[in-house]
Amino acid sequence: MTRPTKRLFAGTVALALLAALVGAAAAQNPIRIGASLSLTGTYSALGQNQNRGYQLCAKHVNAKGGVLGRKVEFVLYDDQSQPATGVRLYEKLITEDKVDAVMGPYSSAITEAVANVTEKYKMPMVAPMASTTSIFKKGRKFIFMVQSAAEVYLEGLIDMAAKRGLKTVALVNEDTLFPKATIQGTIELAKQKGLQVVFVEGYPKGNTDFSALLTKIRAANPDVLGAATYFDDAVAITRQMKELNVNPKLYGVTVGGDLPKFYELLGKNSEFVYGATQWEAELPYPGSKEFITSYKKEFPGADLSYHSAGGYAGCQVLVEGIRRAGSLDGEKIRAEILKMDTTTVYGGFKVDDGGFQISHKMVTFQWQDGKKVIVWPDELAEGKARFPTPAWSER
Protein backbone atom coordinates (compact mmCIF):
# COMPACT_ATOMS: atom_id res chain seq x y z
CA MET A 1 0.00 0.00 0.00
CA THR A 2 1.44 3.37 -1.03
CA ARG A 3 1.82 6.20 1.54
CA PRO A 4 -1.06 8.28 0.08
CA THR A 5 -3.23 5.16 0.03
CA LYS A 6 -2.35 4.44 3.66
CA ARG A 7 -3.32 8.00 4.66
CA LEU A 8 -6.59 7.69 2.77
CA PHE A 9 -7.28 4.34 4.44
CA ALA A 10 -6.50 5.72 7.90
CA GLY A 11 -8.75 8.73 7.33
CA THR A 12 -11.56 6.52 6.11
CA VAL A 13 -11.24 4.31 9.19
CA ALA A 14 -11.30 7.34 11.51
CA LEU A 15 -14.42 8.70 9.86
CA ALA A 16 -16.05 5.30 10.04
CA LEU A 17 -15.26 5.02 13.75
CA LEU A 18 -16.65 8.48 14.42
CA ALA A 19 -19.78 7.66 12.44
CA ALA A 20 -20.13 4.43 14.40
CA LEU A 21 -19.79 6.33 17.70
CA VAL A 22 -22.35 8.92 16.67
CA GLY A 23 -24.67 6.18 15.47
CA ALA A 24 -24.30 4.23 18.70
CA ALA A 25 -24.95 7.35 20.77
CA ALA A 26 -28.08 8.09 18.79
CA ALA A 27 -29.38 4.58 19.41
CA GLN A 28 -29.54 5.06 23.20
CA ASN A 29 -31.46 7.41 25.42
CA PRO A 30 -29.58 10.67 25.91
CA ILE A 31 -27.92 11.72 29.14
CA ARG A 32 -30.18 14.52 30.36
CA ILE A 33 -28.52 17.52 32.02
CA GLY A 34 -30.86 19.82 33.92
CA ALA A 35 -30.46 23.51 34.71
CA SER A 36 -32.39 26.67 35.27
CA LEU A 37 -31.18 29.90 33.70
CA SER A 38 -32.12 33.58 33.84
CA LEU A 39 -33.78 33.67 30.45
CA THR A 40 -35.99 36.55 31.62
CA GLY A 41 -35.69 39.03 34.45
CA THR A 42 -32.84 41.18 35.72
CA TYR A 43 -30.03 38.87 34.63
CA SER A 44 -31.51 37.74 31.31
CA ALA A 45 -28.85 39.22 29.01
CA LEU A 46 -26.20 37.24 30.87
CA GLY A 47 -28.26 34.09 31.38
CA GLN A 48 -29.02 33.89 27.66
CA ASN A 49 -25.32 34.05 26.87
CA GLN A 50 -24.68 31.23 29.32
CA ASN A 51 -27.46 29.21 27.70
CA ARG A 52 -25.83 29.53 24.28
CA GLY A 53 -22.63 28.16 25.80
CA TYR A 54 -24.51 25.15 27.16
CA GLN A 55 -26.24 24.46 23.85
CA LEU A 56 -23.06 24.71 21.79
CA CYS A 57 -21.21 22.39 24.17
CA ALA A 58 -23.95 19.76 23.85
CA LYS A 59 -23.84 20.02 20.08
CA HIS A 60 -20.06 19.56 19.99
CA VAL A 61 -20.12 16.65 22.45
CA ASN A 62 -22.79 14.89 20.40
CA ALA A 63 -20.92 15.49 17.14
CA LYS A 64 -18.03 13.49 18.64
CA GLY A 65 -20.20 10.58 19.67
CA GLY A 66 -21.51 11.83 23.02
CA VAL A 67 -20.27 10.47 26.35
CA LEU A 68 -20.55 6.90 27.65
CA GLY A 69 -21.93 6.06 24.24
CA ARG A 70 -24.92 8.40 24.69
CA LYS A 71 -25.81 11.84 23.45
CA VAL A 72 -26.26 14.66 25.96
CA GLU A 73 -29.37 16.79 26.11
CA PHE A 74 -30.14 19.85 28.23
CA VAL A 75 -33.45 20.14 30.09
CA LEU A 76 -33.72 23.88 30.75
CA TYR A 77 -36.18 26.10 32.57
CA ASP A 78 -36.39 29.87 33.05
CA ASP A 79 -35.88 30.86 36.70
CA GLN A 80 -36.79 34.46 35.86
CA SER A 81 -33.66 35.63 37.74
CA GLN A 82 -35.32 34.63 41.02
CA PRO A 83 -33.56 32.36 43.59
CA ALA A 84 -36.82 30.95 44.96
CA THR A 85 -37.92 29.97 41.46
CA GLY A 86 -34.55 28.33 40.88
CA VAL A 87 -34.97 26.20 44.01
CA ARG A 88 -38.38 24.98 42.86
CA LEU A 89 -37.04 24.18 39.38
CA TYR A 90 -34.02 22.18 40.58
CA GLU A 91 -36.32 20.13 42.83
CA LYS A 92 -38.47 19.45 39.78
CA LEU A 93 -35.49 18.59 37.59
CA ILE A 94 -34.17 16.04 40.05
CA THR A 95 -37.33 14.50 41.49
CA GLU A 96 -39.85 14.75 38.62
CA ASP A 97 -37.83 15.06 35.43
CA LYS A 98 -35.22 12.70 36.89
CA VAL A 99 -32.32 14.24 34.99
CA ASP A 100 -29.00 12.42 35.08
CA ALA A 101 -26.87 15.46 36.00
CA VAL A 102 -27.20 19.20 36.54
CA MET A 103 -25.36 22.37 35.62
CA GLY A 104 -25.48 25.63 37.54
CA PRO A 105 -27.81 28.62 36.97
CA TYR A 106 -26.68 32.20 36.38
CA SER A 107 -25.50 34.30 39.35
CA SER A 108 -24.19 33.60 42.81
CA ALA A 109 -27.51 34.42 44.46
CA ILE A 110 -29.43 31.74 42.56
CA THR A 111 -26.59 29.23 42.78
CA GLU A 112 -26.40 29.68 46.55
CA ALA A 113 -30.11 28.89 46.80
CA VAL A 114 -30.17 25.86 44.51
CA ALA A 115 -26.94 24.38 45.92
CA ASN A 116 -28.90 23.22 48.94
CA VAL A 117 -31.13 21.18 46.63
CA THR A 118 -28.35 19.57 44.58
CA GLU A 119 -26.42 18.84 47.75
CA LYS A 120 -29.43 17.10 49.30
CA TYR A 121 -29.62 14.72 46.36
CA LYS A 122 -25.83 14.34 46.04
CA MET A 123 -26.03 15.60 42.47
CA PRO A 124 -22.71 17.10 41.23
CA MET A 125 -23.24 20.64 39.93
CA VAL A 126 -20.59 22.48 37.95
CA ALA A 127 -21.50 26.12 38.55
CA PRO A 128 -19.82 28.24 35.86
CA MET A 129 -21.39 31.56 36.83
CA ALA A 130 -21.10 31.54 40.61
CA SER A 131 -18.06 33.31 42.00
CA THR A 132 -18.92 34.19 45.60
CA THR A 133 -16.41 32.45 47.86
CA SER A 134 -18.85 31.72 50.68
CA ILE A 135 -20.86 29.33 48.47
CA PHE A 136 -17.86 27.02 48.34
CA LYS A 137 -16.84 27.32 52.00
CA LYS A 138 -19.82 25.71 53.67
CA GLY A 139 -18.67 22.13 53.56
CA ARG A 140 -20.69 21.25 50.46
CA LYS A 141 -19.34 18.30 48.50
CA PHE A 142 -21.12 18.39 45.15
CA ILE A 143 -20.64 21.92 43.78
CA PHE A 144 -17.68 23.06 41.66
CA MET A 145 -16.56 26.59 40.82
CA VAL A 146 -15.27 27.49 37.34
CA GLN A 147 -14.35 31.17 37.48
CA SER A 148 -12.28 33.44 39.74
CA ALA A 149 -13.73 34.63 43.03
CA ALA A 150 -16.02 37.65 43.39
CA GLU A 151 -13.59 39.22 45.81
CA VAL A 152 -10.97 39.85 43.09
CA TYR A 153 -13.20 41.27 40.34
CA LEU A 154 -11.94 44.81 40.96
CA GLU A 155 -8.35 43.83 41.79
CA GLY A 156 -7.08 45.21 38.48
CA LEU A 157 -8.76 48.57 39.01
CA ILE A 158 -7.29 48.91 42.49
CA ASP A 159 -3.83 47.79 41.42
CA MET A 160 -3.73 50.24 38.51
CA ALA A 161 -4.95 53.04 40.80
CA ALA A 162 -2.20 52.37 43.32
CA LYS A 163 0.47 52.29 40.61
CA ARG A 164 -0.73 55.72 39.41
CA GLY A 165 -0.55 57.24 42.87
CA LEU A 166 -4.31 57.58 43.39
CA LYS A 167 -5.45 57.77 46.99
CA THR A 168 -9.21 57.44 47.53
CA VAL A 169 -11.89 54.94 46.48
CA ALA A 170 -15.70 54.95 46.44
CA LEU A 171 -17.61 51.69 46.06
CA VAL A 172 -21.24 50.93 45.23
CA ASN A 173 -23.00 47.61 44.82
CA GLU A 174 -26.27 45.87 44.15
CA ASP A 175 -27.38 44.60 47.54
CA THR A 176 -27.15 40.89 46.68
CA LEU A 177 -24.68 38.09 47.37
CA PHE A 178 -22.07 38.43 44.60
CA PRO A 179 -21.80 42.25 44.53
CA LYS A 180 -21.53 42.41 48.32
CA ALA A 181 -18.72 39.85 48.27
CA THR A 182 -16.98 41.87 45.55
CA ILE A 183 -17.10 45.00 47.67
CA GLN A 184 -15.78 43.26 50.79
CA GLY A 185 -12.88 41.88 48.76
CA THR A 186 -12.20 45.26 47.16
CA ILE A 187 -12.09 47.01 50.53
CA GLU A 188 -9.40 44.56 51.65
CA LEU A 189 -7.44 44.96 48.40
CA ALA A 190 -7.60 48.77 48.72
CA LYS A 191 -6.25 48.60 52.26
CA GLN A 192 -3.40 46.35 51.14
CA LYS A 193 -2.48 48.85 48.42
CA GLY A 194 -2.66 51.86 50.75
CA LEU A 195 -5.83 53.40 49.28
CA GLN A 196 -8.50 54.96 51.49
CA VAL A 197 -12.09 53.81 50.99
CA VAL A 198 -14.13 56.99 51.47
CA PHE A 199 -17.60 55.81 50.45
CA VAL A 200 -19.48 52.49 50.37
CA GLU A 201 -23.20 52.07 49.72
CA GLY A 202 -25.48 49.39 48.35
CA TYR A 203 -28.64 49.73 46.27
CA PRO A 204 -31.58 47.33 45.87
CA LYS A 205 -31.81 44.84 43.01
CA GLY A 206 -33.75 46.35 40.11
CA ASN A 207 -32.90 49.94 41.05
CA THR A 208 -32.87 52.31 38.07
CA ASP A 209 -32.40 55.77 39.62
CA PHE A 210 -28.88 56.29 40.95
CA SER A 211 -28.99 60.08 41.16
CA ALA A 212 -29.04 60.32 44.97
CA LEU A 213 -26.21 57.79 45.25
CA LEU A 214 -24.11 59.53 42.62
CA THR A 215 -24.71 62.94 44.16
CA LYS A 216 -23.16 61.64 47.39
CA ILE A 217 -20.21 60.21 45.47
CA ARG A 218 -19.66 63.51 43.68
CA ALA A 219 -19.50 65.20 47.09
CA ALA A 220 -16.96 62.63 48.31
CA ASN A 221 -14.84 63.34 45.20
CA PRO A 222 -12.99 59.98 45.09
CA ASP A 223 -10.11 59.24 42.75
CA VAL A 224 -11.60 55.84 41.90
CA LEU A 225 -15.16 54.55 41.62
CA GLY A 226 -15.74 50.81 41.60
CA ALA A 227 -19.24 49.50 40.95
CA ALA A 228 -20.23 45.91 41.69
CA THR A 229 -22.97 45.58 39.10
CA TYR A 230 -24.91 43.52 36.62
CA PHE A 231 -25.73 44.65 33.09
CA ASP A 232 -28.73 46.97 33.51
CA ASP A 233 -27.30 48.86 36.48
CA ALA A 234 -23.85 49.12 34.87
CA VAL A 235 -25.47 50.93 31.93
CA ALA A 236 -27.68 53.13 34.11
CA ILE A 237 -24.91 54.16 36.50
CA THR A 238 -22.59 55.10 33.64
CA ARG A 239 -25.28 57.10 31.88
CA GLN A 240 -26.27 58.95 35.05
CA MET A 241 -22.64 59.66 35.96
CA LYS A 242 -22.39 61.72 32.80
CA GLU A 243 -25.69 63.48 33.49
CA LEU A 244 -24.50 64.46 36.98
CA ASN A 245 -20.89 65.03 35.91
CA VAL A 246 -19.44 62.46 38.29
CA ASN A 247 -16.00 61.92 36.80
CA PRO A 248 -13.44 60.02 38.92
CA LYS A 249 -9.95 59.43 37.57
CA LEU A 250 -10.70 55.70 37.23
CA TYR A 251 -14.14 54.13 36.94
CA GLY A 252 -14.79 50.42 36.58
CA VAL A 253 -17.70 47.98 36.79
CA THR A 254 -17.80 44.26 37.42
CA VAL A 255 -20.51 42.50 35.39
CA GLY A 256 -22.21 44.04 32.36
CA GLY A 257 -19.50 46.33 31.06
CA ASP A 258 -18.04 43.47 29.07
CA LEU A 259 -21.11 42.92 26.87
CA PRO A 260 -21.01 44.46 23.38
CA LYS A 261 -24.45 45.88 24.19
CA PHE A 262 -22.81 48.07 26.82
CA TYR A 263 -21.06 49.98 24.08
CA GLU A 264 -24.03 49.80 21.74
CA LEU A 265 -26.20 51.54 24.34
CA LEU A 266 -23.68 54.05 25.66
CA GLY A 267 -21.51 54.73 22.62
CA LYS A 268 -18.61 57.08 23.28
CA ASN A 269 -19.64 57.37 26.93
CA SER A 270 -18.23 53.86 27.33
CA GLU A 271 -14.76 55.13 26.41
CA PHE A 272 -12.26 54.93 29.29
CA VAL A 273 -14.60 52.74 31.37
CA TYR A 274 -12.90 49.67 32.87
CA GLY A 275 -14.50 46.28 33.18
CA ALA A 276 -13.67 42.99 34.85
CA THR A 277 -13.91 39.85 32.83
CA GLN A 278 -13.24 36.19 33.31
CA TRP A 279 -12.50 35.58 29.60
CA GLU A 280 -11.88 37.46 26.38
CA ALA A 281 -11.59 36.20 22.83
CA GLU A 282 -7.98 37.38 22.59
CA LEU A 283 -6.74 35.20 25.46
CA PRO A 284 -4.64 32.26 24.20
CA TYR A 285 -6.55 29.33 25.67
CA PRO A 286 -6.67 25.98 23.81
CA GLY A 287 -9.78 25.56 21.70
CA SER A 288 -10.87 29.16 22.25
CA LYS A 289 -10.60 30.23 18.61
CA GLU A 290 -12.54 27.19 17.45
CA PHE A 291 -15.18 27.89 20.10
CA ILE A 292 -15.56 31.48 18.89
CA THR A 293 -15.84 30.44 15.23
CA SER A 294 -18.49 27.86 16.05
CA TYR A 295 -20.38 30.25 18.32
CA LYS A 296 -20.62 32.93 15.64
CA LYS A 297 -21.77 30.36 13.09
CA GLU A 298 -24.35 28.82 15.42
CA PHE A 299 -25.69 32.11 16.84
CA PRO A 300 -25.09 34.80 14.20
CA GLY A 301 -25.34 38.29 15.64
CA ALA A 302 -25.72 37.09 19.24
CA ASP A 303 -23.72 38.45 22.15
CA LEU A 304 -20.50 36.63 22.91
CA SER A 305 -19.13 37.19 26.39
CA TYR A 306 -17.37 35.38 29.21
CA HIS A 307 -20.76 34.07 30.27
CA SER A 308 -21.02 32.19 26.96
CA ALA A 309 -17.50 30.77 27.19
CA GLY A 310 -17.97 29.95 30.87
CA GLY A 311 -21.16 28.05 30.17
CA TYR A 312 -19.38 26.09 27.45
CA ALA A 313 -16.37 25.34 29.64
CA GLY A 314 -18.47 24.32 32.63
CA CYS A 315 -20.30 21.84 30.44
CA GLN A 316 -16.94 20.56 29.17
CA VAL A 317 -15.87 19.91 32.77
CA LEU A 318 -19.03 18.02 33.69
CA VAL A 319 -18.91 15.88 30.54
CA GLU A 320 -15.25 15.10 31.12
CA GLY A 321 -16.05 14.17 34.73
CA ILE A 322 -18.72 11.76 33.50
CA ARG A 323 -16.35 10.32 30.91
CA ARG A 324 -13.57 9.74 33.43
CA ALA A 325 -15.99 8.27 35.97
CA GLY A 326 -17.42 5.92 33.36
CA SER A 327 -20.66 6.31 35.22
CA LEU A 328 -23.45 8.71 36.19
CA ASP A 329 -22.89 7.98 39.87
CA GLY A 330 -22.60 11.30 41.71
CA GLU A 331 -19.80 10.24 44.04
CA LYS A 332 -17.69 8.91 41.17
CA ILE A 333 -18.17 12.04 39.05
CA ARG A 334 -17.30 14.23 42.04
CA ALA A 335 -14.09 12.28 42.64
CA GLU A 336 -12.99 12.72 39.02
CA ILE A 337 -13.72 16.48 38.90
CA LEU A 338 -11.71 16.96 42.09
CA LYS A 339 -8.70 15.37 40.36
CA MET A 340 -8.84 17.60 37.26
CA ASP A 341 -6.02 20.04 36.53
CA THR A 342 -6.65 21.25 33.02
CA THR A 343 -7.14 24.24 30.73
CA THR A 344 -10.46 24.71 28.95
CA VAL A 345 -11.48 27.33 26.37
CA TYR A 346 -12.07 29.50 29.45
CA GLY A 347 -8.65 29.14 31.05
CA GLY A 348 -7.36 27.10 33.96
CA PHE A 349 -9.57 24.68 35.88
CA LYS A 350 -8.60 23.15 39.19
CA VAL A 351 -10.58 23.15 42.43
CA ASP A 352 -9.75 22.45 46.06
CA ASP A 353 -11.56 19.87 48.19
CA GLY A 354 -14.48 22.25 48.65
CA GLY A 355 -14.91 22.84 44.92
CA PHE A 356 -13.36 26.34 45.14
CA GLN A 357 -11.53 27.44 41.98
CA ILE A 358 -7.76 27.86 42.42
CA SER A 359 -6.46 27.97 38.85
CA HIS A 360 -8.49 30.42 36.78
CA LYS A 361 -7.20 33.99 36.21
CA MET A 362 -9.38 36.97 35.34
CA VAL A 363 -8.42 40.18 33.57
CA THR A 364 -9.33 43.88 33.43
CA PHE A 365 -10.12 45.65 30.16
CA GLN A 366 -10.79 49.24 29.14
CA TRP A 367 -13.11 50.43 26.37
CA GLN A 368 -10.89 52.14 23.79
CA ASP A 369 -12.22 53.36 20.43
CA GLY A 370 -15.18 51.03 20.67
CA LYS A 371 -13.14 47.96 21.53
CA LYS A 372 -12.33 46.17 24.76
CA VAL A 373 -8.58 46.20 25.31
CA ILE A 374 -7.12 44.00 28.05
CA VAL A 375 -4.93 46.26 30.17
CA TRP A 376 -4.32 44.15 33.31
CA PRO A 377 -2.47 42.07 34.44
CA ASP A 378 0.68 42.99 32.53
CA GLU A 379 1.43 39.41 31.45
CA LEU A 380 -1.95 39.11 29.71
CA ALA A 381 -2.38 42.76 28.63
CA GLU A 382 -2.73 43.53 24.94
CA GLY A 383 -2.50 47.30 25.35
CA LYS A 384 -1.87 50.18 27.76
CA ALA A 385 -4.57 51.79 29.87
CA ARG A 386 -5.53 55.28 28.71
CA PHE A 387 -4.99 57.59 31.65
CA PRO A 388 -5.97 60.12 32.89
CA THR A 389 -9.66 59.97 32.12
CA PRO A 390 -10.85 63.12 30.33
CA ALA A 391 -14.01 65.07 31.11
CA TRP A 392 -17.27 63.56 29.82
CA SER A 393 -17.58 66.32 27.22
CA GLU A 394 -14.19 65.39 25.76
CA ARG A 395 -14.84 61.70 25.09
Residue-wise pLDDT for 319-328, tens only, equals 999 999 999 9
Instruction: Check the CA dihedral 56-57-58-63 and report its sign.
Output: positive
In the structure, what pLDDT confidence band is assigned to residue 392 with cuts at 50, 70 and 90? very high
* Rounded Cα gap, residues 154 and 163, in angstroms: 14
Rg (CA), the chain: 22
Tell me what the pLDDT averaged over the chain comes to. Answer: 93
Cβ atoms of 224 and 166 within 8 Å: the answer is yes
Average confidence (pLDDT) over 148-168? 96
Mean pLDDT is lowest, of 16-30, 144-158, 340-354, 368-382, for: 16-30
For the segment 184-192, the average pLDDT, to the nearest whole number, is 97
Q: Which of 202, 193, 138 lies closest to 161, judged by CA?
A: 193
Cα–Cα distance, 171 to 183 (Å, whole number): 7
pLDDT of residue 19: 55
User: What's the predicted TM-score (pTM) here?
Assistant: 0.81
How far apart are alpha carbons 219 and 127 in whole angstroms? Answer: 40
Q: Is 128 helix (H, G, I), strand (E, B) or coil?
A: coil
82-137 confidence digits (pLDDT tens)? 999 999 999 999 999 999 999 999 999 999 999 999 999 999 999 999 999 999 99
pLDDT band at 395 (very low <50, low <70, confident <90, very high): confident
Residue 150 has what pLDDT? 93
Average pLDDT over residues 253-262: 92
